[in-house]
Structure 1
Amino acid sequence: MTTDAVRRTAAPLRQEVVNALRHDIVAQEFRPGERLVESMLCERYSVSRTVVREALRQLESEGLVRMIANRGPEVATLSIREAQSLYEVRRALESLAGSLFAERATGVQCTELVARFSAIKSAMASGDPVKRLEAKDRYYDALFEGAGNPEIARMLRSVHARTQMLRNLSLATPGRAVRTVAEIARITAASAVIRDPEDARIACEEHVTAAAHAALTAMRRLENGN
């Protein structure tokens, strides 16, 4: 087998492990602060240490894993202050993305955003936390594409990766899934139907503000042992 063939084989395998480990962290198979032992991960995913280490490095770059001196990799934890800061950034960027989508998106992109919203409704009704986050990620992919600003997309994907567990915590709040659907319905209408940049901006701001409130409230409750 040639070197190029080996690389082509190894890269998809690494990505499979990245996806599987990311899924397990979001689903809280691994808890925040839990050590990620390489030998255990090799056995769990039936891959070599090299593949596991590459996957861990990628998830470290996404903010889901932290490398701790004299301890090794562990599932990242966020302080309440760090979470607040990330939500502030997310609110500013998503509001801009929604506004730009309303201004710039093509008819095809608007149709796609509406379709992605329909998928969110189905995912929220399923109650599956991973399906919910995956549906929201696909929705945001469509929103970012229509906004036509790759830098916003790059920065927001980084923020979303770092707040994956918080997003899951927010959606687990009683009644939050129903409110999320209503909030995203407003974003979709303002951005892709009415095409009102200001209303889209406000709708995005209010959605992130509500998500932040739910997640931060849940974090404080867990911190207090309630």
Structure 2
Amino acid sequence: MASGENSLTGALSGIRVGRVAAPLREQVLDGLRDAILNFELKPGERLVERELIERIGVSRTTIREVLRELTAEGLVVVVPKKGAVVYAPSTEEAKDLYAVRASLEALAVRRFIERAPADAVEALRETVDEMEKVVAEGGDMLALLHAKDRFYNVLLAGAASPTIQDILGRVQARVRLLRATSLSQPGRPRQVVQEIRALVEAVASRDAASATMLCDAHLDKAAATGIKALDADPTT
């Protein structure tokens, strides 16, 4: 995807750095990470050091350190002759990420069923209600992503597995970009709400077999939708 000064200016306008609350580097890192995850900076968009320095008002050293950290997180990649750009998954990378998600999320569902108390199940239901409300009100992509983030936060907390959280955390940023690609397809948000609600009801019944099957089915549909969208986008 092509980038322009207006896009970069708008995306960075929300980054405010101070000298007291948190180290300067951390403020810039958090600001750029949020701009990417909230799609203010688009997949494939160039991150030009000079422009970042001018717009944010920090040193070249700080910008380079932040870009290195974002590269380590998988949100930025360095492309020959282009420099740093926001990560845009290829079809093959997307397939692998969906496969990782399928295995880990199905395991998280099983651990949630084994370990989570009743109030965690109700909290999970509430996140689906929130997703449904966002979709019914025609909420934007960012609102829907935040609602689905809360679903996964509750699921992982109830699964009580630091191992699953750690491994998923390493790919979570890239997974979020894929999630947006899938959810952006016509009709997909309503399907997602239906799929997740069915999954939660199986979880509430402590039916691990059905819940695992529904989790796998949800991710199969997400993968099919997301990969189709990537294939149709000539910029990825």
Whether TM-score is above 0.5 comes out as yes
Aligned to 1:138: 150
- Residue 233 of structure 2 aligns to a residue whose secondary structure is helix
Q: TM-score, normalised by structure 2?
A: 0.80
- Residue 104 of structure 2 aligns to a residue whose secondary structure is helix
2:219 to 200, 208, 216: 208
Give the Cα–Cα distance (whole angstroms) in 2 for the partners of residues 69 and 221 of structure 1.
24
- The answer on whether the counterparts of 1:91 and 1:204 sit within 8 Å (CA) in structure 2 is yes
1:173 to 174, 185, 199: 185
Q: CA deviation at 1:120?
A: 2.1
Is 1:35 the counterpart of 2:46? The answer is yes
Q: CA deviation at 1:58?
A: 3.2
Is 1:195 the counterpart of 2:206? The answer is yes
Is 1:147 the counterpart of 2:159? The answer is yes
Unaligned runs of 5+ in 2: 1-18
Classify 1:63/1:40 alpha carbon distance in 2 versus 1 (closer, same or farther; 3 Å): same
Measured against aligned partners, the alpha-carbon deviations of 1:160-209 in whole angstroms (never above 9, x if no partner) come to 31132221111010000000111111122122x21211121111111111
RMSD of aligned residue pairs (Cα, Å): 2.6
Give the Cα–Cα distance (whole angstroms) in 1 for the partners of residues 145 and 178 of structure 2.
11
Task: Calculate percent identity across the aligned residue pairs.
Answer: 39
Measured against aligned partners, the alpha-carbon deviations of 1:50-80 in whole angstroms (never above 9, x if no partner) come to 5434433332222110134665321122211
Q: CA deviation at 1:48?
A: 4.4
Give the Cα–Cα distance (whole angstroms) in 2 for the partners of residues 37 and 95 of structure 1.
39
Classify 1:17/1:187 alpha carbon distance in 2 versus 1 (closer, same or farther; 3 Å): farther
Aligned pair count?
217
Q: TM-score, normalised by structure 1?
A: 0.83
Give the Cα–Cα distance (whole angstroms) in 1 for the partners of residues 127 and 65 of structure 2.
32
* Structure 1, 136-145 or 109-118: larger mean CA deviation: 109-118
Give the Cα–Cα distance (whole angstroms) in 2 for the partners of residues 119 and 15 of structure 1.
31
Unaligned runs of 5+ in 1: 1-5
Flag the structure with higher helix content: 1
* Structure 1, 61-70 or 148-157: larger mean CA deviation: 61-70
